[in-house]
Amino acid sequence: MHSLLDYLRLYFIIEAQYIKARMQYRADFIISSIGMFFSSLATLGVFWIIFDSIPDLAGWTFMQLVFIYGFYMIAISPMQILFDHIWQIRFHVQQGTFLKYYFRPLNMMFYYMSEMFDIKGLTQLAAGVVILIYASLQLGLEWTLARIALLLLTLFSASLVQISITVMAGCAAFWVLDAYPVLGLAWKLREFAPYPMNIFDGAFRFAFTYIIPLGFVAFYPSQLFLQPQDVSPLMYFSPLVGIGLFALTYWVWTLGVNSYTGTGS
Amino acid sequence: MKSYLAILRGSYMIGLVYRYGFLFNIAGNVLYMSVTYFLWRSIYQGRETLNGLTFDQTYIYVALGSAIFILLKTYVDWQLAFDIREGMIATYLIKPIDLQLYNLFNSFGYALMSLSAITVPTFLLLVFAFKIQIPLGIGLVLFPISLLLAYLLSFCFDYFVGLLCFYTESIWGLSITKDIIVTVLSGALIPLQFFPDAIQKVLMWLPFQAIYYTPLTMIAQPNLSWETFLSMLGVQLFWVVALFGLTRLFYDQAVKVLRISGG
């Protein structure tokens, strides 16, 4: 078996080659990065315009929402950068090219996802970091070493939540003919993650907390930093949500991989 | 004309194949309409009006906006990019058909399909499940015309971006940039009345508002005067003619740089 270190080394080798190949299309990379940048700021733009007419949204100030948004942008970046290949899974499954992933002595999820490294996602990540720092300066948040460690831990967990939701939707490809609508729906849901969850009523808040836990992508973990005095101590266990969910996703992926029978061509 | 109608019929039939995807689209719309309901409810927070719009008016505007969103996405940009990259474009160029009209009718077949399978069901859900009262007025009568013009405009933008692929040979970045410019500046996400005054004035002079703001206003505020509506339609028509002409001119330039490798 390979150790984690082997995998890391392997990943760098694969991505180095991938990036070299992609750099042939430099114009595409630049345009895509610009597009990525603006499209990831769209919801924030909507909030900005709305706050022209109102002082607060369900008790949240604009700057607090900016903080949540920065958190959100960082949290969705690992999905974009490292797991982007999930969008192609329906082609591979339909056309039988998925079979090749069975024939390497490597973890299949690792091998499959390593085939794509979305460089333009780095723009999103960078924008998210700038927004988060800007908002936390404006809000005058205090950062100790422990708080920074907590931030990194919650970001790690939040990004696992986002990865899990999307990858699980992509796994539908193993059982239905066209997983695109399922993935599209999961992608649309993602846009709601930076909304304050307290605007929702019972059933929706329940669903976004326990069923499709979008709230854990940005809103709940952000509260640990925006209102540390008010959050329930349970929230400090929220990092477990991401890890648990990813374990579940990995299990679903394994089920799918084991049930796939190829296309016979 | 007959051959273009055949193209339309063909793409309508292809659209039929992907029936089960419609369910997810409708589910997505319902979710989106619910979430925007909560969002706008907390924005209004019991206020009677904001920027001259009541909650009901704003909500109809935004919810219907999501219902026509899928309809107005023609995907012509993706289709053209695919044809250019794969060299398929050559087979269209040697046929006695006009590329612009071919793409228009091809995408219009899909649009009719998604109108019947996604937009109308969403609209019915809005009225019966969400219990939204659609106010009656002349705007309601003019809405279908306005929607058709909006479709033609949306097509022009998608076609233009598709033509850009003659130069870039890649589409993702261009298409996503176009999408975001159109959705934000057209008032697809928020009624234009909410924008700061100065920005609003500029936006009214741009073609984007004719895609979402015009048809949606006809539904949300159907009791504005005849003159207002007619001038809105006039502006739409102006942009349709202008952009159709401009994209045709641009095509003549763009097609010159086409290179096809292999066959």
Give this complex's ipTM: 0.86
Q: What percent of chain A has pLDDT over 70?
A: 99
Q: With an 8 Å Cβ cutoff, are A188 and B195 in contact?
A: no
Q: Tell me if A26 is assigned to some domain.
A: yes
Q: Tell me if A216 is assigned to some domain.
A: yes
β-pairing verdict for B53-54 and B49-50: antiparallel
The whole domain housing B194 covers: 2-257
The number of folded domains in chain B is: 1
Please name every residue paired with B53 in a beta bridge, in sequence order, or none if there are none.
B50
Which range of A203-217, A218-232, B73-87, B203-217 scores highest in mean pLDDT? It is: B203-217
Lowest pLDDT segment from A148-157, A173-182, A204-213, A236-245: A173-182
Q: Tell me if A264 is assigned to some domain.
A: no
The whole domain housing A25 covers: 4-259
Residues of A in contact with B37 (CB under 8 A): none
Taking the C-alpha atoms of residue A32 and residue A120, their distance in angstroms, rounded to an integer, is 6
Tokens of B107: 């995408």
Residues of B in contact with A184 (CB under 8 A): 24-25, 28
Q: Tell me if A265 is assigned to some domain.
A: no
B96 min Cα distance to partner chain A (Å): 32
A7 min Cα distance to partner chain B (Å): 30
Tell me the mean pLDDT in the region A143-153: 93
Distance of CA A254 to the CA centre of its chain: 20
Within 13 Å and on the Cβ side, how many CA atoms surround A34? 13
Helices (H), ranges, chain B: 2-17, 19-44, 55-72, 76-86, 89-93, 99-114, 120-128, 138-168, 172-185, 197-204, 213-220, 226-254
A109-140 confidence digits (pLDDT tens)? 999 999 999 888 999 999 999 999 999 999 99
B94-135 confidence digits (pLDDT tens)? 888 899 999 999 999 989 988 988 888 888 888 888 888 888
At A265, the pLDDT band (50, 70, 90 cuts) reads low
The number of folded domains in chain A is: 1
DSSP-derived 3-state class of residue B54: strand
Q: Which amino acid is at A190?
A: R
Q: Tell me if B47 is assigned to some domain.
A: yes
A96 min Cα distance to partner chain B (Å): 21
Tokens of A252: 């679903």
* DSSP class per residue in A18-69: HHHHHGGGHHHHHHHHHHHHHHHTHHHHHHHHHTTT-S-BTTB-HHHHHHHH
Q: Which amino acid is at B193?
A: Q
Specify burial of residue B182 (Cβ count, 10 A radius: 0-12, 13-18, 19+). Answer: buried
Q: With an 8 Å Cβ cutoff, are B43 and A54 in contact?
A: yes
Residues of A in contact with B169 (CB under 8 A): 25, 28
At B137, the pLDDT band (50, 70, 90 cuts) reads confident
Q: Is A49 on the interface with B (CB under 8 A)?
A: yes
Angle at CA of residue B204, ends B198 and B210, nearest 5°: 150
Please name every residue paired with A138 in a beta bridge, in sequence order, or none if there are none.
none
Q: Tell me if B263 is assigned to some domain.
A: no
Residues of B in contact with A181 (CB under 8 A): 20-21, 23-25
Sign of CA dihedral B48, B52, B141, B11: negative
Q: With an 8 Å Cβ cutoff, are A35 and B180 in contact?
A: yes
- Residue A115 is classified by DSSP as T
- Quote the pLDDT of residue B20: 72
